[in-house]
Structures are given as C-alpha cells and as structure tokens.
Structure 1
Amino acid sequence: MNETQATTVPVTWSTEEIIAKRNRYYAASQRAFVPYEKPLIIRRGQGQYVWDELGNRLIDLLGMNLCISVGHAHPRIVAAVKAQVEELTHCTTMFYHPVPAHFAEELARTMPAGHDWVVHFTNSGAEAIDLALMMARIATGNQDLIALRNSYHGATYGAQGVTGVMNFRHNTGQLSNITFTAEPNQYRGAFGSGTQPYLDDLDRVIRHTTSGQLAGLLIEPVQGYGGIVPMPEGYMKGAFERVRAHGGLCIVDEVQSGFGKTGDAMWCFDAHDVVPDIVVLAKGIGNGLPLGAVVAKRDVAKAMDGKFLFHTYGANPVACAAGREVLRVIEDEKLIENARDVGARLHEGLMDLKARFSIIGDVRGRGFMQAVELVRDRGTKEPAPEETAYVFERTRVHGLVLSKSGNDKNILRMVPPLCLAMEDVEPVIDAFAQSFADLAAR
C-alpha cells in the first residue's frame, strides 16, 4: 500500500535538485525535449530578458518557445490576469462568461473584413490543429488533406500526422488521407528557387496522391520549427486557388507567425493577398497562458453544428483576459512596427555575420522571425549539425536563449518577444560573433 504524504517542502532553486526531481518524476515523453547539454533553469523574466537560477541574465530570443508575445511579466498582462483570478479563476464553457465572448469578438475583428468569422477556443495550438482538420473534413465531406514538407503543426496524434519534420513523427500509425507537397524553400528547396515549380508540384500531388476531392490544405506562412522558411510571393495565392478548385478549404497555421511576429501585420497571411477559410492561433495569444483558438468563416464552422466538442480550459476567462490585453498592448505600444524596424536591423547584423563566417550558409526571415542556417560547404550546402550544436551552446554562454531546429538541426532560430529593443541588437550580434569565433578557434 502506497503512503500518501502532504507536500510541505518549499520550492527549491538548487540546480542539482531541480534536475534530479525532473529526471525522477517526469515521464520519458516529457523529458525528451531538452535542447542544452546542461539544462537551462529559468527563475524569472522581465520584458525580453530572463534570469537563470544563478542570477545570470539572458536575452530571450525565443519568447519561451514563442509563447511570450509582448514581454515577460508585462505589467498590463499581470494586472488583467490578477483582476480576473481574484474574481473567478475558471468558468466551464457549459456556462457563460463575458470575457471569452468579448475576446472572440475582438479576434474576429482582426480577420479580413467582408467575412463572418467565429471562434472556438482550445487549450493549445496542437488541439486547435486537430479541430481545424476535423472541421475541414466535415465541412467539405472530403477526406484528403495536403500539408507541406518541413512543416510543424504539433505533436498530438492528429497534428503530427500533418507535420513534415521527422523528429516529431513517431513510429506509430498516422492519420490517413494526408499527403505532402514540397515546401518552397528558396535556399534548399527540392526545385530550387522560384514559386512556379512548387505550385507545379502541388498540381502533381493533387493529381497523383489524392482523389482529386480535397478537404483542405494546411500551411504556415512562415515555417517555424522547420527553420524560418517564409512562403515566397505568389505561392499562397496560387496554392489557395488550386486547393479551392478541388473543393478544399485553406487552413493557415499562424501559431508561430501570428500576432505581428513578421512586422507586417497582425497576421502573416495578410501580406500574401489571401483570405483563409480557417486560421489556427496559439502560443503568443495569451503571453504565456495556455490558450489556442480556431477562427473560421461561419459557414465552415456551421458544419460542426450539433457535434459536441469540448476543451476543458479552452475558453478559460483568465487566459482570455490575458489575450484581450495582448491585443491592446500590441496596438498601444506599436509592437508590430517595432518588430518590423528592430527585426530589419537584426537581419542586417546577421547578414554581416554571414559575410564574416563561411559556415553560415543562409540568413533569412522577416521581422522577429529570423534564422541562421549552418553548412559545412556553401557550394554543396551540406548541413553542419555538430557545429550548430556547438555554436548553440556558446550563445547561451554569451547571454542568449534561442533554438536549434530543422530536420538536420543545423538552423539557429530566433523569434523573440515583440518588445525586443533596438539597443538589444548590438549585444545579440556581438554574442553571435563571439560564439562563431569560439567555433573557429576550438
């Protein structure tokens, strides 16, 4: 018989104890995703900065995996959350509460005018992807879905079925009736640069690997975990035309690129002259509070009428209160413009590094979605995963938090909070320069 004892031990900030407890009590499935050789323990954050358990300050170029949109511990978000927690922590969607309803209205108003938009709140982005797939199949009556290679849409059983990154596709049965088309990667895409070759491939995929009757296409305007791969001009528009010609819906995954990350508009798809049928949101939506959403045209969502679908915390009023304030802060503090201007300067600095260090094969991105791809030879573009891992570790030593990503893990990915400032750019570039110099000197 197991003995039950109330937990009375205070939270520890001992590095060794934190690591030991996590290793002892986390399931294997939750222990696997640890990027650094020595685990990074975060004690607190403020704005674009975080501090580890030893008091070292780092510039957070990842926004805690893109979840921190307007800055750590933003006082307006804290106040909104505190006010709601003190009044009511949770209200199940079986009952009504005004905060989620107001937030749904405010999200709908950010979508393209002339369409009737509705919102379904979920607990996370992966759950929202699952719902979007189901909604597309039910609304169209078709089963075949198309995703892009190199895409990342989540690791749930449904979302990994449309994810084109090997690291997130487990050796288990996947959803049926899903096929992949080549991503229009302008650096190392299967058909080189340009847009038309990739639209031609989409035509071939529809013709040869589907029934010709589509449920939909799922696309990230900028592939996130795949290594910051922006869709080139004309691709999304051409892809939407082809998919709709075969009866499918167009699903845009803005989980990573949304909320002004590219510095163009609130939603990245706005820059591509397209109107999706379904938009998936999460991560930065609540500035770190768990929340996701599916925003869909009313006639598409109506297909689910009468079909019971319940997300326990999906419309949690605390998370929605944070979400409402996120929208206000982005507008009031002109954070989209900040992402545009500071992101452009950051990109310039990264390009300067490319000119100095031959291991950098490509620098790409827009606004606050930036990537540096490392290769052993610029001619062959052979990925450099070991060198990337070394530089990645050194950037932490020099005061940065970022990500290494992509199928070959040879890409340094940066998607900082929208409050990253112009005065942060020089320290960031200096830290990268020192890290690449460390690699050259080892």
Structure 2
Amino acid sequence: MQRIFQSTLSQRNFWLRRPRCLSQLAHNHTQNTLEEEDDFLLPKIPHFDYIPLPYTGPSASEILEKRKEYLSPSILHLYKNPLNLVDGKMQYLYDENGRRYLDAFGGIATVCCGHCHPDVVEAIVNQTRRLQHSTVLYLHHAIADFAEALAAKLPGDLKVVFFTNSGTEANELALMMARLYTGFHDIISLRNGYHGNAAGTMGVTAQSNFKFNVVQTGVHHALNPDQYRGVFGSDGVKYARDVQDIIDYGTCGRVAGLIAEAIQGVGGIMELAPGYLPAVYNCIRKAGGLCIADEVQSGFARIGSHFWGFEAHDVVPDIVTMAKGIGNGIPIGAVVTTPEIAKVLMGRTYFNTFGGNPACTAGALAVLKVIEKEKLQENAFVVGSHLKECLTSLKEKHEIIGDVRGRGLMLGVELVTDRQLKTPAKAEILHIMEQMRELGVLIGKGGFHGNVFRITPPLCFTKEDADFLVGAMDYTMSKM
C-alpha cells in the first residue's frame, strides 16, 4: 500500500503533512525553522462550506456551573475544559466561538446521516407542525409506515416491531420476551458486553464500571471471544464451548436466551471472533433459548459490509434490538421479532407512552430513506476501509498502538504502553484526546480499561475527513 503520509512541497495545499518527532529534525535547525516546519506539518481540517449563526447564549463556564448545581453528579464530561457545542452540520460540530470540529464520535455512534441532515429535519418539523404526539392507542400512518420499512430491512420472519425510547428499553423488553416465550429465566451474555443501565440490562452488562450493587439474578457471563486479549485468539468455536459448559453446569439445561453485540461498542469496538455466533446460536437453541442481537451501535449500515452487525457472522437472530442510529439523534429504539414470539405480550397489557411517537417515527423513516438515497452503507464501507488501512499503517509507526479493529465506520484503536504485555495506556489516551481536540478532532474512548479510541462518526464521513483524523492522531503521537 502506498503510504498516505508521503507528501511533497508541491502538494502544499493538501491537508496532510507527514509528522515527525522533533528529535528527527536536523540539529542545526534554528528555533524559527523548527516552528515553521512544525506549522507546515500540522494537519489541516478539510474545507466545508457552512457558516453557523452567531451564538448569543450562556458560556461554557456558565453552563458548567448550572450542571454542577442542578444535574446529577454522576454525569461526566469529556476533556478537562468541557466543550460547549452549539451547532452541527453533517460530520462537523461548532463550539460557542464558532470553531469547527470533525466529529469522529457521532454522539456515541448515534448520528447516522449527519448532524441536522435537511431531509431528517424537514420530516420532523413537518410532522411536529401537524401532530407532535398522540399515542399508539390511536392510528397514525407515521408509525405504521416506519414499522413496515424497518421490517423490510431484516431477514426471515423478523417483521413485528415494538417501539421504545432507547436501547436500554429495547433490551429490557427483549429479555422479558425471551423469558416469557421460553418459560425459562437464565440469560447468557458475554463478558465485556454492554446492554444498558436499567434493572435487567445492568444484569446482562458485564463490566463492573457500569454495575451498581443491586440484585441481579438469572444471568451468566460467558468468556468473551476477544481476538486481541482472549485466550483462544480468533478461534470463535473454542470460545463457544464455554457457553455450552455454562448451560451444562450452571443451569437446569434450559435457558431463556443469549444477548450479544456483534461488535462490542462500549467494550472497545471488539468484534467477536469468527465462527463464534453460529456455534453459540446453535448451543442456545438446543437448550430451548432465543438469540437476541443487540444492534444498538452496530446497526443501520454502520459496519459498511452489511446493514446489521449480525449479518457479518451469517446468523439470523430471533430478536433484534436497536436504537442510536435508528433516529440520527431522535430518542427512539425498537425491538423486532417474529409473529410467534411477539404473541407472548398478548397475555397482559404492554404499553409505552412515547414508543412510536409520530414525530420520532417520521424522522426515523427519513433516516432510512437518506441511508438508501445517499448510499451511506457503501460510503461507510469505502471510507471505513480506507480509514482502517491508514490506522493500521499508523500502528507500524507508533508503538503505543496495540491493536486496530472493527468494520466500516465502527473502528477501535487500542493504546498500550507495552505491546508484549498489552499494558493499557490509560493516561496517554487522555493526553492524546486533549491534543486531538486542540487540532479540531473529537473522538471517543471506551474499553474496560478506558484505553481504546472509539471511532464512530456520521456515515457521511469522507476520505479527506479520515485522512485528517489519522493526521491529527499521527501528529499528536509524534509529539509525545
């Protein structure tokens, strides 16, 4: 591969200049020469033809004081000096001073089409002008239209939709349905997985960072098919044997089901080992259980190669949960299952006041249409493949990068201080994040140790954006 970091003086208008550590510069350079070359190497944000309206609201410091006084102390914020973001357009965000940033986090894999996409905004505004909210107890075409379009994107008999307000709610409902349908209580989830922070979903979440000391029963956490740190490397079938052992030794031999992400988002963009899901789905179904695919982060074309994360593993789940990208920032989630499984809720009254809200479903239908019209799945594949290739090349240059992984525009870069020991670079990642922000790149982090960059930008990301991101990361790492 021709390395993307090569450039010449004749390419001066091109944004990327190959950064070098200052120690690599000739010793006879003067300080002025160093500063000039350093400025020359500095990556430049791609041109974007948009000027936000002037901001006249409260400052970041004023907002922070209100947050401290009136919001829960558990609410965190990124960066030492929190950003006051006041405007957004497609893959870019703007702070109170009008400075533009490349959004490589997408509101935690939520902004799918791009910030304030005109088609999505128009759909929401038009619907809100007519009817903002009624209830699913009345008829409204927006709810039925979106359910029909959503079901058409799923394989097999997955065509009955229940709308919720979030991914946590969707997973809560899916777990309850699995238990009701099978008549069994035990759920198997994966270590390092994250599925929400309510009562049931906190139980299946398998990271102590997200679990309070409350009663959590009927959940077994299986060995994670971690291709980077796992004991069996990329051999998914060997990891799957642990699930069978749990069924044999930890349950009555029958289970309600399994819940798993195809790519663990909060867990550090960890793609499950090949062969794992087919083997595990087989184990679960033999034990009478249902297979739940958590597509809250990996769904809606984000992985590029497929529309849903589970499709990359050649499996068809019994229940699919989704949120985030489903609405491009609108609070909406969904559970999709088969007509047979859906009947389990007929025994009682299941109701969600806001689930299927007309404004939300109208906006979400617009999201689906934009994905198709603008070929965002194809773009996620092309740009994501380019970005992953560039990040992999960066790994060859910087020892601090231990692993590059993921698919499409759901990528992870794990930082370590020792590649052999895989020691998490916890402090270093914070420093790099701060410096990348100064260069104009906003990026997320995750993983159990908090040492993995989470790259989940809007799917309208371009190759120029990808190059700028890599250039900013390269420049910052070279300066350490």
TM-score (norm 1): 0.94
> Which residue of 2 is the match for residue 146 of structure 1?
188
Q: Is the 8 A contact 2:191 2:206 kept in 1?
A: yes
Q: How does 1:289-304 map to 2 (within 5 A)?
A: 289-304=330-345
Q: Is the 8 A contact 2:320 2:335 kept in 1?
A: yes
> Which residue of 2 is the match for residue 19 of structure 1?
64
Matched, 1:279 2:315: no
**Pairwise CA distance, 1:171:** 2.3
Rounded to whole Å, the distance in 2 between the matches of 1:403 and 1:310 is 35
1:121 aligned to 158, 163, 183, which one? 163
> Which residue of 2 is the match for residue 352 of structure 1?
393
Task: Tell me the amino acid that sits aligned with residue 145 of structure 1.
Answer: I
> Which residue of 2 is the match for residue 404 of structure 1?
445
Rounded to whole Å, the distance in 1 between the matches of 2:171 and 2:126 is 31
Rounded to whole Å, the distance in 2 between the matches of 1:414 and 1:231 is 17
SS in 1 for 2:188: strand
Q: How does 1:75-86 map to 2 (within 5 A)?
A: 75-86=118-129
Q: Could you give the per-residue CA deviations for residues 155-182 of structure 1, whole angstroms, max 9, x where no partner exists?
A: 12221111112211112222x1100101
> Which residue of 1 is the match for residue 249 of structure 2?
208
Rounded to whole Å, the distance in 2 between the matches of 1:85 and 1:389 is 41
Task: Tell me the amino acid that sits aligned with residue 214 of structure 1.
Answer: V
Rounded to whole Å, the distance in 2 between the matches of 1:308 and 1:389 is 48
Q: CA RMSD in A?
A: 1.3
> Which residue of 1 is the match for residue 136 of structure 2?
93
Q: Is the 8 A contact 1:217 1:250 kept in 2?
A: yes
Q: Is the 8 A contact 2:413 2:454 kept in 1?
A: yes
Specify whether residues 116 and 65 from structure 1 end up closer, same or farther in structure 2 by C-alpha distance, changes over 3 A only. closer
**Pairwise CA distance, 1:326:** 0.7
Per mean C-alpha deviation after superposition, the further-off stretch among 188-197 and 288-297 is 188-197
Task: Tell me the amino acid that sits aligned with residue 163 of structure 1.
Answer: T
Rounded to whole Å, the distance in 2 between the matches of 1:404 and 1:209 is 34
Q: Could you give the per-residue CA deviations for residues 14-41 of structure 1, whole angstroms, max 9, x where no partner exists?
A: 1211111111110223x2x323222122
> Which residue of 1 is the match for residue 273 of structure 2?
232
Rounded to whole Å, the distance in 1 between the matches of 2:111 and 2:426 is 27
**Pairwise CA distance, 1:405:** 0.6
Q: How does 1:4-403 map to 2 (within 5 A)?
A: 12-29=57-74, 31=75, 33-113=76-156, 115=157, 117-174=159-216, 176-403=217-444
Rounded to whole Å, the distance in 1 between the matches of 2:137 and 2:73 is 35
Task: Tell me the amino acid that sits aligned with residue 210 of structure 1.
Answer: T
Rounded to whole Å, the distance in 2 between the matches of 1:110 and 1:426 is 32
Rounded to whole Å, the distance in 1 between the matches of 2:463 and 2:199 is 41
Q: Is the 8 A contact 2:235 2:275 kept in 1?
A: no
**Pairwise CA distance, 1:403:** 1.1
Task: Tell me the amino acid that sits aligned with residue 163 of structure 2.
Answer: F
Rounded to whole Å, the distance in 2 between the matches of 1:19 and 1:116 is 45
Rounded to whole Å, the distance in 2 between the matches of 1:381 and 1:205 is 28
> Which residue of 1 is the match for residue 29 of structure 2?
none
**Pairwise CA distance, 1:136:** 0.2
**Pairwise CA distance, 1:422:** 1.5
Q: Is the 8 A contact 1:165 1:406 kept in 2?
A: no
Q: Which runs of 5+ in 1 are unaligned?
A: 1-9
TM-score (norm 2): 0.87
Q: Is the 8 A contact 1:404 1:410 kept in 2?
A: yes
Rounded to whole Å, the distance in 2 between the matches of 1:189 and 1:361 is 14
Rounded to whole Å, the distance in 1 between the matches of 2:107 and 2:97 is 18
Rounded to whole Å, the distance in 2 between the matches of 1:371 and 1:299 is 38
Q: Could you give the per-residue CA deviations for residues 254-293 of structure 1, whole angstroms, max 9, x where no partner exists?
A: 0000000100122121222111100001001111110000
**Pairwise CA distance, 1:389:** 1.5
Rounded to whole Å, the distance in 2 between the matches of 1:425 and 1:229 is 20
The alignment-based identity, stated in percent, is 45
Rounded to whole Å, the distance in 1 between the matches of 2:60 and 2:158 is 51
Rounded to whole Å, the distance in 1 between the matches of 2:275 and 2:124 is 41
**Pairwise CA distance, 1:100:** 0.6
Q: Is the 8 A contact 2:236 2:274 kept in 1?
A: yes
SS in 2 for 1:28: coil
2:470 aligned to 424, 429, 432, which one? 429
Rounded to whole Å, the distance in 1 between the matches of 2:455 and 2:466 is 12
> Which residue of 2 is the match for residue 3 of structure 1?
none
Q: Is the 8 A contact 1:66 1:256 kept in 2?
A: yes
Task: Tell me the amino acid that sits aligned with residue 434 of structure 2.
Answer: E
> Which residue of 2 is the match for residue 6 of structure 1?
none
SS in 1 for 2:347: coil
**Pairwise CA distance, 1:104:** 0.7
Task: Tell me the amino acid that sits aligned with residue 267 of structure 1.
Answer: W
Per mean C-alpha deviation after superposition, the further-off stretch among 385-394 and 10-19 is 10-19
Rounded to whole Å, the distance in 1 between the matches of 2:158 and 2:379 is 30
Q: Could you give the per-residue CA deviations for residues 395-438 of structure 1, whole angstroms, max 9, x where no partner exists?
A: 21111111111111111111111100122121111111122123
Specify whether residues 126 and 59 from structure 1 end up closer, same or farther in structure 2 by C-alpha distance, changes over 3 A only. same
